[in-house]
Amino acid sequence: MSYFNNIDKIKFEGSKSTNPYAFKFYNPEQKIGNQTMEEYLRFGVAYWHTLTMDGSDPFGAGTMVRPWDKFSGMDLAKARLEASFEFFEKLNVPFFCFHDVDIAPEGSNLRETNQNLDTIVGLMKDYMKDSNTKLLWNTANNFTHPRFVHGAASSNEADVFAYSAAKVKKGLEIGKELGAENYVFWGGREGYETLLNTDMKLEMDNLGRFFHMAVDYAKEIGFDAQFLIEPKPKEPTTHQYDFDVATGHAFLQNYGLQDHFKFNIEANHATLAGHTFEHELRYARVNNMLGSVDANQGDPLLGWDTDEFPADLYSATLAMYEVIKNGGLGRGGLNFDAKVRRGSFEPEDLFHAHISGMDTFAIGLKVAQKLYDDKVLEDIIDNRYKSFTEGVGLDIVSGKTDFHKLENHALNLQQIKHQSGRLEKIKATINQYLITYAAE
């Protein structure tokens, strides 16, 4: 059966095309540096937003009109699965991602839930045989069900810790079965609401134990995916243990886990943490911890995790600059953890949203590559820090000085010479590159 029968395969038609069902900037075969756009961008569809969720928000019911609405239970799961591969194929997208509960309904107990998962995963494997779309990552939803009311691996209830472990164990088995490139841990309820009833030390220690057990089990079954922590500062909990990349990095180091994980960085989570997207990417990159990206954007006027499709060219350019400097995303990719607005309820909006997101990041990639090739930011930064390449600066960075010598240097200074940061000039250059190279 066809779910999107009025839409054909989306092709690249160039920046002048007026066809809404065409890529204007994303040309999968175009070489950027030494990789094709498809290889560089590694786009993924988020199953939950595109196939599963219905557009409900804390104030209103679902609005989405979907061709699979008439089904329920396992029939609904099967219909969504069939629709998903039609969607991936028509969008020509290389990857997808899912939580366990996105693809199969929970049963009345864990055994039944696992049986449902087995059925769908078996079918999914068959679809994947005839498809170019691969699994970027899967994960366990350990936050929606009421059993996770006090957390999952950081719950006060040991039974919930065990239940969460069982779900991740199953997730790792599924990831192996489907050849997932990565496995994601987003600690939706791994945090706390109030310290008044919370043993913070035990919760964090347990979370550390949980991650070690996951690493051990993946090794035991020979699942070699890259493990990713997805930081988020709040929502649903008030305080989350993986607040941002820096906090997550410190956590991993505290618990001896830093060699087993990288980060999956989401733009909207960065904003919620009071950072820019590029800050989080840079922090991860310079610490060799950049693994993958959840490409979306927030609404600064609302301030919550609105998970909008990315359309901000400036932000996408600065994000892709970090990806290029990282030498690409390796086994990671750009997963659209993004949903169409509640008012964009027709199935065709799913295509418009993804086309727009893919074109946005294609422009970001092209412009960032040109900035990189022309060493626009490199030259500015090299020049700005040149005091550390000679004299006292070189002594500082090569560890050849101490407070005595530095005091002596400072006492003998006649005058400190500053140079302008030239921020306005830099921004004008970035605008010039955006306008000039977006469509090349």
Please say whether the beta carbons of 295 and 336 come within 8 A.
Answer: yes
Buried-exposed string 372-393: b where 16+ CB fall within 10 A, e elsewhere: beeebbeebeeeeeeeeeeebe
The three-state DSSP-derived secondary structure of 231-254 is CCCCCCCCEECCCCHHHHHHHHHH
Looking at 99, 249, 279, 354, which residue is catalytic?
Answer: 99
**Residue 86 interaction partner, one of Co ion, ligand XUL, none, beta carbon < 5-8 Å per kind:** none
**Residue 227 interaction partner, one of Co ion, ligand XUL, none, beta carbon < 5-8 Å per kind:** none
Q: What is the C-alpha separation between 395 and 440, in angstroms, rounded? A: 45
**Residue 211 interaction partner, one of ligand XUL, Co ion, none, beta carbon < 5-8 Å per kind:** none
Binder among 95, 186, 277, 336 for ligand XUL (CB under 6 A): 186
Under the binding rule (CB under 5 A), the answer on residue 308 touching Co ion is no
Among 100, 91, 77, CA closest to 183 = 100
Q: Is 395 a catalytic residue?
A: no
Q: Is 307 a catalytic residue?
A: no
Q: Whose Cβ is closer to ligand XUL: residue 181's or residue 230's? A: 230
Q: Whose Cβ is closer to ligand XUL: residue 230's or residue 278's? A: 230
**Near ligand XUL in 137-176, by CB under 6 A:** 139
Q: What is the C-alpha separation between 303 and 198, in angstroms, rounded? A: 27
Q: Whose Cβ is closer to ligand XUL: residue 206's or residue 296's? A: 296
Gyration radius (Cα) of the chain, Å: 24
Binder among 337, 353, 365, 367 for Co ion (CB under 5 A): 337
Q: Whose Cβ is closer to ligand XUL: residue 42's or residue 90's? A: 42
Under the binding rule (CB under 6 A), the answer on residue 266 touching ligand XUL is yes
The three-state DSSP-derived secondary structure of 154-181 is CCCCHHHHHHHHHHHHHHHHHHHHHCCC
Minimum separation from the CB atom of position 294 to ligand XUL (A)? 5
**Residue 232 interaction partner, one of Co ion, ligand XUL, none, beta carbon < 5-8 Å per kind:** ligand XUL
Binder among 266, 308, 322, 359 for Co ion (CB under 5 A): 266
Minimum separation from the CB atom of position 5 to Co ion (A)? 31
- Spell out the residues 6+ positions from residue 318 whose beta carbon is closer than 8 angstroms to its own: 276, 277, 278, 364, 368
Q: What is the C-alpha separation between 281 and 411, in angstroms, rounded? A: 40
Under the binding rule (CB under 6 A), the answer on residue 203 touching ligand XUL is no
Cis amide leading into 236 (omega within 30): yes
Q: Whose Cβ is closer to ligand XUL: residue 181's or residue 266's? A: 266
Looking at residue 181, its amino acid is E
Q: Where along the sequence are the contacts to Co ion (CB under 5 A)?
A: 266, 294, 337
Catalytic residues: 99, 102
Q: Where along the sequence are the contacts to ligand XUL (CB under 6 A)?
A: 99, 139, 184, 186, 230, 232, 266, 294, 305, 337
